[in-house]
Amino acid sequence: MADSRAVRAGKMGLAALLGGLYFGLAAIMVVFDRLPVDFYHYYTAASRIQAGQSAYLPFSLTGPSFLYHPFALSAVTWILRFERETGYAIWIALSLAAYAAAMAALLGVTHRWLADSGGRLGLPEQLLLGAVFLGFRPLLQTFKQGQINLFVLLAIALCLYFSEAERPHLAGFFLGLAAILKLSPALLFLYFLALRRYRTVAAGAVTVIGLSLVAWAQFGSQVFLDFAAIVGILMGQTHMARANHSLSVYLINALGGVNPTGLLGAVVVYGPKLILWGVAGLGAALAWRSGGERTPQRAGVDRPARLWLFALLVTVMTLSSPLVWAHHLTFLVVPLLLLLARRETRWWGAGLALLFQMEPLLGGLLAPAWVAGTALVAGQVLVLAGVTALCLRSLTAGQRRQQADPARAG
């Protein structure tokens, strides 16, 4: 009993130490970061569309171009009822509520997963989760910039929550909402196709079409043509901005500025994306081969494998984007949550979260900016590697069970 208490006290002490360091680094970010406020770009875009101008063109990464689907533009036009600073305050309050709801949904799914095997989150683990979720550096940057990502995260979290609760139509609605607010979550359609959850896929497609029609009725067809032009520019160029932490841009800079149009440049630009898409495709193919959903007659894909596959696709959607600003890494709370909740990977997840948190301390305070960029890219790669390994192991274990029980193979 004494040993057990000592171990528990040691875990709590270590968790408190990590939490204190985590929040200290978060405070450094808040004090020293000088970030553009993306909310102001949204406000400007809404003002321009209301004045009969294009919200998208001419293109500019740093504003005032709007880079999202026209329905997202519909969703932000309400802010014009307020002065810009008042709208910003309301937006931040709504973002906080969205993040709290997203975490509640993700934790609900996690508790079900742990309960399946009789596990639970103790106080030390809850301290760690609280530190990660409340002080995660990309999250704080998202709040400070007034980014749309927390509303997208809420849609992704509710999509998973209702999917695990066997509410396919609600899951599909939030799938479609996530995909229309930010295009990269469209990759999650692959998750439901792999699990053969066609009602969710259909509901997601209907949602995308319906919300697109709402924007069409509000703004007309020209806004969709402008949006298509923006998508072509985003997908067809290598955006060499210093704040772009994509794997391709990092490799180009690390190799001394490789020409993106040359053979080596093409390998560097497209190689990481092909690897990411290949990993996602492999996971989806294994889930499909396992028979999709688990039923009494079919081994299928059990909850751990489903959650790791979902986390893998969220990671791939984040890292394969042509633009990976630091605040985009907010979506990595999904795989980090699973890593922290699982006993075998808990401290690995805590270490990865701390690595992301080190970026403001390294960048310009204790080390050159390239060291900070390396820390962020290394964190991305390590999250991808860990989640990929756990996903593939869970899926192959399910296939072995299916082969051992031929009665459930068909």
Q: What is the structure's pLDDT at 409? A: 45
Q: What is the structure's pLDDT at 345? A: 86
Most confident of 89-93, 255-259, 372-376: 89-93
Q: What is the structure's pLDDT at 297? A: 45
Q: What is the structure's pLDDT at 199? A: 96
* Mean pLDDT of the 296-302 span: 63
Which ranges of 182-243 does DSSP label H, i.e. alpha helix? 189-194, 198-219, 222-236
Residue predicted with more confidence, 293 or 68: 68
* Mean pLDDT of the 191-215 span: 96
Half-sphere exposure for 358 (CA within 13 Å, toward CB): 21
* Mean pLDDT of the 50-56 span: 89
Concatenating the DSSP letter of every residue in 58-100 gives S--TTSS---S-HHHHHHHGGGGGS-HHHHHHHHHHHHHHHHH
Question: In this structure, what are the phi and psi dihedrals at residue 286, rounded to the nearest 5 degrees?
Answer: -65, -40
Q: Is the peptide bond before 36 cis (omega within 30 degrees of 0)?
A: no
CB 156 within 8 A of CB 334: yes
Q: Which residues make Cβ contacts (< 8 Å) with residue 344, sequence separation at least 6?
A: none
Report the candidate in 305, 311, 302, 383 with the shortest Cα–Cα distance to residue 106. Answer: 311
Give 367's strand partners. 363
Concatenating the DSSP letter of every residue in 173-191 gives HHHHHHHHHSSGGGGGHHH
Q: What is the structure's pLDDT at 41? A: 87
Burial (0-12, 13-18, 19+ Cβ within 10 Å), 359? buried
Q: What is the structure's pLDDT at 1? A: 44
* Mean pLDDT of the 154-182 span: 96
Residue 362 reports pLDDT greater than 70: no
Q: What is the structure's pLDDT at 274? A: 92
Q: What is the structure's pLDDT at 150? A: 93
Q: What is the structure's pLDDT at 37? A: 77
Give 293's strand partners. 301
Q: What is the structure's pLDDT at 33? A: 54
Q: pLDDT (tens digit, 9 = 90+) per residue, 56-98?
A: 988 877 666 888 999 999 988 988 899 988 988 899 889 989 9
Q: Is the peptide bond before 58 cis (omega within 30 degrees of 0)?
A: yes
Q: What is the structure's pLDDT at 63? A: 65
Hey, what's the torsion of the CAs at 20, 25, 26, 32, to 10 degrees? 150
* Mean pLDDT of the 294-320 span: 83
Distance CA 195, CA 197 (A): 5
CB 276 within 8 A of CB 184: no
Residue 242 pLDDT level (bands cut at 50, 70, 90): low
Q: What is the structure's pLDDT at 190? A: 97
Q: What is the structure's pLDDT at 399? A: 64
Q: What is the structure's pLDDT at 2? A: 45
Concatenating the DSSP letter of every residue in 243-262 gives T---HHHHHHHHTTS--TTS
Residue predicted with more confidence, 130 or 30: 130
**Which residue pairs, CB below 8 angstroms and at least 24 apart, start in 138-142?**
138/326, 138/327, 138/328, 138/329, 138/330, 138/332, 138/356, 139/99, 139/330, 139/333, 140/26, 140/29, 140/30, 141/29, 141/33, 141/35, 141/326, 141/327, 142/95, 142/327, 142/330
